[in-house]
Structure 1
Amino acid sequence: MRVSFCISIALRAIVLVTLSVYVIVRLLSFKQIFFEHAGIRLTQSQVAAPTNIAGPQHIPKIIHHIFHNWRDPGNDTLPPGWASMRQGCMDLNTSFEFKLWTANASREFIETEYAWFLRTYDGYRYPVQRVDALRYFLMLHYGGIYMDLDNGCKADLTPLLHYPVWVTDGGRGALSNNILGARPNHPFWHRLTLSLLPYNWNWPVPFVSVMYSSGQWFLTAIWEEYHALLPKPDSANPDHEHRLYRIMMDGTPGADPWVFFSHQEGGGGTWHTWDNWFFEGIGEHLFLFFATLFSGIALIGWLGLRCMRRSRGYTRLPILPSGYAV
């Protein structure tokens, strides 16, 4: 009985140590996702500065929104809050074309333009993965600006059209895919859309499956891969700059102001699953997480060693009052 108990403790220790090593290795491989990113950092104020508005306009005047109604399929009426946010953008950007991509229109677009991806698109386990993938294909095919429906406009977005490709950067962790800008057929979007196939893994937890197969972690990983392949910036030939742009959208107090965009509080997170709170908690309490993890490993290891010693037949001798063992 004692031997089987010790074996159980030992197996748990092995599993926990293996899991810990795996987590550490994965975090080391993900380090480029969570720290300083490649590309050219631009605040919204810098983009809006008159000196930066001059020059060619690379991005077409199109604003894309996606609405897939998972709760009531077939009902394509936007919720009032999102409809209001979208209308606000339309009022401030009257010269733009606005496209609203419903579930049926989205699938038809993929089937018509990117039939090679349709099987993967239909096979995604989580609906948000289709929304993620669709926005990338829209950037590749049409270009323009993509915006989540819980993001709004605070100004005319025309100054953002002078940068061939940009993503938004919240200043903490991975880059964001909630607002994107691109000229059509840029090589970055070719690389990213082709990478959707090898990254399409179903991980044990939904959050990781979404984030690393099509979401923000995926976008950030491909962003870093793309920049790693670019020639080094040449200060003598600034026209040879090939790096892409990160438009800052840091919402922490004291950060650079938001000139172009707004965000509806509580408007996002429609895809969140049971494990979101866990990973968000890890991100906010990283030191506590690792302290708890290694403390658990040490405790189980100590229990395992103690148990194994007892299973070998050793017993502690009673101590006589005189101090001699019998």
Structure 2
Amino acid sequence: MQIEIIKLQVLKLISFFVFLLIILVPMKTVLYLFCEFVLCVNTYTSPLSISAGKAIPKRIHQVFFFETSSTLPNEFTKSQQTCQKHHSSYMYTLWNKTMINDLIEKEYPEFKQIYDSYDHWVKRVDAGRYLVLHHYGGWYIDIDIVCKRSVDELSAEARAKNASVVVYKTKPVGFTNAVIGISRQHQYLNDVIVALRHSKRWYFIPYLSTMFTTGPTFLLGRYLNYPYKDEFHIINNHERYFHHLHGSAWHSLDGDIIMYIFNNSPRKLTFIVCACTVIIVILYSKRRNKNKFSAFQRNV
């Protein structure tokens, strides 16, 4: 039931933009999205190591790339300290750009080309956290998140369910990648990392390109295609543990507009957009077939 609800949310998001995708994005990208989020048949072979361990290591990872500042801003220092305070028994690492690059060169050299090719720093930060968590396991927590209490409780809940991945949902749809708890060399992260090669596409506007290439919606797609969903502990009370100071601080105007539409659009508008989408798909298909027939006649 939960998976069906998630799929409906994904379809709602896609319905607002699929007509743009059909007109402005190659059909193979539209096909990729359909296979990823509707049919859920995108599977890839992974060359990465897989560990059978299910315990989430007591490690805290945070990333700051100093893209807009040469030092950690004061407000981030304060949020960083809350995470260190509540996790004094955990190994703590603040990853910077150089450290991520070194990890890729030593442990994931086959991924360096696609990592360097990302056009936005937030995509490299997203990909970097997946690589760090795959290699070490533990908890990734965004640098602008205030920790209210230890994640020990969440790790215990996961163990009780025999789960090895801890996530929570985000808006407009998907699992947030601001907080992830996961065991080392987990198969799900194998799938995530390998799929990054296939998800790197242009989705008409920057916000969608980030969300579907490396962000929360991309993670959700990998979850929908993952066969062992019982390994996930999806928490519903994340406010008890975390407070996000600047949720989605990388958003531009396009992201703000999408969030507004998604959160405020009535059902009728959604239905109208879906109906228009179907009509456009039919017209586009007819136009393609007509062009193919005309080309055939010219060649006869």
TM-score (structure 2 length as normaliser) = 0.69
Determine if contact 1:132/1:214 at 8 Å carries over to the other structure: yes
Q: Which residue of 2 aligns with 1:115?
A: 109
Once residues 56 and 128 of structure 2 are traced to their aligned partners in structure 1, the CA distance between those partners, rounded to angstroms, is 18
Please state whether the residue corresponding to 2:212 is helix, strand or coil. Answer: helix
Tell me how far apart the structure 2 counterparts of residues 157 and 215 of structure 1 sit (CA, whole Å): 23
Aligned length: 233
Superposed displacement of residue 109, structure 1: 1.3
The answer for the alignment partner of 1:84 in structure 2 is 78
User: Which residue is 2:249 aligned to?
Assistant: 270
8 Å contact kept, 1:146–1:181: yes
- The structure with more helix, counted as a fraction of residues: 2
Deviation at 1:203, TM superposition (A): 2.1
Residues 60-209 of structure 1 aligned to structure 2 (within 5 Å) = 60-72=57-69, 75=70, 77-162=71-156, 163=158, 164-170=164-170, 173-209=173-209
Deviation at 1:171, TM superposition (A): 7.7
Answer yes or no: is 1:285 the counterpart of 2:288: no
CA distance 1:295–1:193, change in 2 (3 Å): closer
Looking at structure 1, the residues matched to 36 and 213 of structure 2 have their Cα atoms a distance apart, in angstroms, of 17
Q: Equivalents in 1 of 2:22, 2:81: separation in Å? A: 47
For 2:197 and 2:234, the matched residues in 1 are separated by 25
CA distance in 2, matches of 1:168, 1:247: 5
TM-score w.r.t. structure 1 length? 0.64
Moved more, 280-289 or 176-185: 280-289
Question: Structure 1: how far apart are the matches of 2:20 and 2:96?
Answer: 42
Residue in 2 that maps onto 1:41? none
Give the SS at the match of 1:218: helix
CA-CA distance at 1:173 after TM superposition: 2.4
Q: CA 1:150–1:127 in structure 2 vs 1: closer, same or farther (change >3 Å)?
A: same
Give the deviation of 1:212 after TM superposition: 0.3
Residues 168 and 178 in structure 1, CA contact (< 8 A), matched pair in contact too: no
User: What is the DSSP-based 3-state SS (H/G/I as helix, E as strand, rest coil) of the residue aligned with 1:69?
Assistant: coil
What is residue 244 of structure 1 aligned with on the other side? Answer: 232
Following superposition, the deviation at residue 270 of structure 1 comes to: 3.1
Cα distance in 2, alignment partners of residues 270 and 211 from structure 1: 13
For the residues of structure 2 that align with 1:224 and 1:87, how far apart are their CA atoms? 35
Residues 20 and 293 of structure 1 are in contact (CA less than 8 Å); yes or no, is this contact kept in structure 2?
A: no
C-alpha displacement of 1:174: 1.6
Secondary structure of the residue that 2:140 maps to in structure 1? strand
- 1:194 shift after superposition: 0.5
In the other structure, the counterpart of 2:295 is none
Deviations 1:53-101 (CA, angstroms, capped at 9, x unpaired):
xxx98111110000012124xx2x2111111011011112110111001
Q: For 2:177, what is the secondary structure of its paired residue?
A: strand
Pick the structure with greater CA Rg. Answer: 1
Distance 1:21 1:182, change over 3 A: closer
CA contact (8 A) 1:57 1:161 kept: no
- Segments of 4+ in structure 1 off by > 6 A? 294-297
Identity %: 27
Q: Unpaired segments of 5 or more residues in structure 2?
A: 1-17, 24-29, 39-52, 159-163, 278-300
Name the counterpart of 1:259.
240
The aligned runs of 1:24-35 (5 Å cut-off) are 29=34
Q: Is the partner of 2:95 in helix, strand or coil?
A: strand
Provide the C-alpha distance between the structure 2 equivalents of 1:269 and 1:171, rounded to a whole number of angstroms: 10
Would the aligned equivalents of 1:143 and 1:183 in 2 still touch at CA under 8 Å?
yes
User: RMSD in angstroms over aligned alpha carbons?
Assistant: 3.1
143-152 or 154-163: bigger deviation: 154-163
